[in-house]
Chains A and B, each alone.
Chain A
Amino acid sequence: MADAEQPPEPAAAAVAPEEIKAVPVRRPGRLIAGVLIIIVAAALVRSVATNPRFGWGTVGEYLFSPVVLDGLLKTIELTIIAMVVGILIGVILAVMRLSPNPIVVAASGFYIWLFRGTPVLVQLLFWNFIAALYPVVALGIPFGPALVEFNANNLITPFVAALLGLGLNEGAYMSEIVRAGLLSVDEGQEEAAKALGMRRMQTMRRIILPQAMRVIIPPTGNETIGMLKTTSLVSVLAYTELLYAVQLIYAANYKQIPLLIVASIWYLVLTTILSIGQYFIERHYGRGTARAIPPTLLMRIWQSFSTWRHTEVPVPEQRHGL
């Protein structure tokens, strides 16, 4: 639009303005807090390193022992399958909750009421003892003859009981998360898709769900981390996941503390990996939004250290999409 012969643009001074070089404000409070924390941390580290009862040698001995690694694998397996079950049930319940059919809505509400209202440990025990309630599980016509029958004791192994207990319970929590996500997407999105002739399922899958993901992912990450830790409850069913594996070992050698440290180290490793994964998934689903995802805690700490060294921090370039 602008013509070459127009009068010169206003402002835009010929010489670059002088940068302000001022003495920064002194902040003694920050300094004192920092020093105090460092002193306390040093004392902690010293005690951890020098107290022989931590048994760091034993920790190292068992950290990669086959029994522990096998338990670790089972913990991962349980977490993944239980979360998949939970998310599937959650999506189904959330869609049911938004249905125009009142019976469907009530069924979904009842499920959530039941499974969110009782402790997951109780539910796990219930599934474990389900054979006492229903000795035989039969598939067939309702109120009619059975076609296949199973002995519940053989069908419900500790692993299956664990999956049922964890997955069904998780479904109740996930449904609320998914529902909040679906409701967070502007109605105009659905209308625009409708106006283009898109079908209901297409609209849900291509337009609504991907945008709901931005709201669904962060709490789902938390749920996954929570699930990883909740799997330790399965130890009461004598299923050899990570915690029960170390319990078996310390029942034999009485080195409880070092072995609990072994379990804790592995839980921390896994939750750390999950947190990092969550960051990248969030960034993926955040594409197209003006507000970029805030940097992780580690990135923030790193940045503030670099502000100590240089006065000017280059703002990391935010890339949209790709």
Chain B
Amino acid sequence: MSEPMVKAEAVHKRFGRNEVLKGITLEVAAGEVMCLLGPSGSGKSTFLRCINHLEKINSGRIWVDGDLVGYSQRGDKLHEMRESDVAGEREQIGMVFQRFNLFGHMTAEQNIIEAPIRVAGTKRDVAKAEAKVLMDRVGLGDRLDAYPAQLSGGQQQRVAIARALAMKPKLMLFDEPTSALDPELVGEVLDVMRALAADGMTMVVVTHETGFAKEVGDTVVFMDDGVVVESGDPASVFDNPQHKRTQAFLSKVL
């Protein structure tokens, strides 16, 4: 079997004295869609942010596509990576945020072409052509010149997905992508994510959408209080949860 896309080993994370992650170990295979579920405060968003080093972990290791995240190992010593090297690692990892975080002073198109031009060194006209393709793909081909404030939440999130895809990532992280949306706008974002999964993108999705997790997820991981309580394919976790905490959680959300 080939190298997993994401490999986490005994990941611990503290904020001050508050230990948020208490030893997370898991693997995501290339092309897999993994959904992280759990009550708020269980550490699932924090873990996701550790994968692209937005949060520094206190112990353990995370590898993305075989590369250690945030550090380099020379001999038996771990060296902190320079800012620019961390940035280089992040280019390969797309991230979609709960609150979209589109650049407010730029149009949808400018949002999408910014990183390809500035970071990846793509030519402007090439980046623009790719932006058009991406916007068509998320169903917003006619809104290239719209500013974020002129778009609905669902549209903003779709632009945010297009922006992340513009860097041609090998892994996409979704941090509760539909939690800030009106119920009637959730569907359009999930549709885009569903299509992305069908195209074979490796995805780690923190979500409360159990329906999506069941339908699209290859693996479902249930986290609580900083640990992985239960994981497996959606059918077994949803229909036949083994652990009490999983049962309690699912009985509330299903």
Contact = CB atoms under 8 A, between A and B. Distances in A.
Given A210-B105, A290-B149, A321-B147, A195 B118 contact: no
Nearest to B102: A192
B152 interface: no
A168 to B, nearest CB: 31
Nearest to B111: A192
Contacts of B54: 191, 194-195
Nearest to B117: A206
B115 A197 contact: yes
B104 interface: yes
A211 B101 CA distance: 13
B58 interface: no
Nearest to B98: A188
B103 A207 contact: yes
Given A188-B97, A320-B147, A321-B147, A197 B119 contact: yes
Nearest to A197: B91
B18 interface: no
A288 B115 CA distance: 19
B93 interface: yes
A213 to B, nearest CB: 8
Contact of B119 (A191, A196, A207, A211): A196
Contacts of B141: none
B87 A211 contact: no
Contact of A289 (B52, B84, B102, B104): B104
Contacts of A207: 103
B163 interface: yes
B101 A192 contact: yes
Nearest to B52: A195
Interface in A152-188: 186, 188
A199 interface: yes
A200 B91 CA distance: 14
Given A195-B54, A197-B90, A288 B104 contact: yes
A287 interface: yes
A285 B99 CA distance: 22
B118 A198 contact: yes
> Size range of the interface on A?
20 to 34
B88 A196 contact: no
Interface in A188-219: 188-189, 191-200, 202, 206-207, 210-211
A48 B186 CA distance: 68
B236 to A, nearest CB: 32
Q: Most chain-B Cβ atoms within 10 A of its Cβ — which of A194, A195, A206, A207?
A: A195
A194 B87 contact: yes
Q: What is the interface of chain A mostly: helix, strand, loop, or mixed?
A: helix
B164 interface: yes
Interface in A217-241: none
B189 interface: no
A199 B83 contact: yes
B194 to A, nearest CB: 18
Nearest to A214: B105
Contacts of B145: 321
B148 interface: yes
B107 A192 contact: no
Contact of A194 (B90, B103, B105): B90
Contacts of B114: 196, 198, 206
Nearest to B93: A195
Contacts of A199: 83-84, 87, 119
Interface in B53-84: 54, 83-84
A196 B147 contact: no
Nearest to B91: A197
Nearest to A207: B103
Contacts of B88: 197
A228 to B, nearest CB: 29
A211 B105 contact: yes
B75 to A, nearest CB: 28
Contact of A211 (B84, B104, B160): B104
A9 to B, nearest CB: 18
Given A194-B87, A196-B90, A197-B91, A288 B163 contact: no
A186 B98 CA distance: 14
B20 interface: no
B198 interface: no
A287 B147 contact: yes
23 contacts: A186-B101, A189-B101, A191-B97, A192-B95, A192-B97, A194-B90, A195-B90, A195-B94, A196-B90, A196-B167, A197-B119, A198-B115, A206-B118, A207-B103, A211-B104, A287-B105, A288-B106, A288-B107, A288-B149, A289-B149, A290-B149, A321-B107, A321-B145
- Top 7 closest pairs, chain A to chain B, by CB: A197-B91, A192-B101, A188-B101, A196-B115, A195-B95, A288-B147, A290-B149
Interface of A: 186, 188-189, 191-200, 202, 206-207, 210-211, 285, 287-290, 320-321
Given A194-B90, A321-B107, 9 more contacts: A195-B94, A196-B115, A197-B92, A198-B87, A198-B114, A199-B83, A210-B105, A290-B150, A320-B150
